[in-house]
Amino acid sequence: MNIIANINQRLSFDKDRVCYGGEDKIKKVLSESPIKLPDDYIEFLRTISGGENVGITFEVEDEGLDISIWSAEVTLKKELKILAIQVIEILWNVPGWWGMI
């Protein structure tokens, strides 16, 4: 399934952020992942991991929310993994936060 071609109408994104490539980086993500990643996700990574692209952000219409997905290169940056874990640990204890997702 092509995720970009089948994106929900309520999600908008900058089509310039679609940047094919990054196969070497994707292979490294696959080798470092502790779980088997779904084929659809791997295909999606191929559409956002080319060049120096950092990923893609989808804006949820009328909600004031964003969904960001990192490119393969960004997921390999250890300092961002640590930051993401710290943010999740902080938000885990914020009352009502999980209801917003």
Predicted local confidence at residue 54, as pLDDT:
80
Predicted local confidence at residue 9, as pLDDT:
67
Predicted local confidence at residue 27, as pLDDT:
92
Residue 18 to residue 45: CA distance in whole angstroms: 10
Low-confidence ranges of the chain (pLDDT < 70): 1-11, 13, 79-84, 86-88, 91-101
DSSP letter string, 62-77: TTTEEEEEE-HHHHT-
For tokens 């929900």, what's the residue? 8
Question: Residue 48, SS3?
Answer: helix
Q: pTM above the 0.85 mark?
A: no
Distance from chain centroid for Cα 8: 16
Rg (CA), the chain: 15
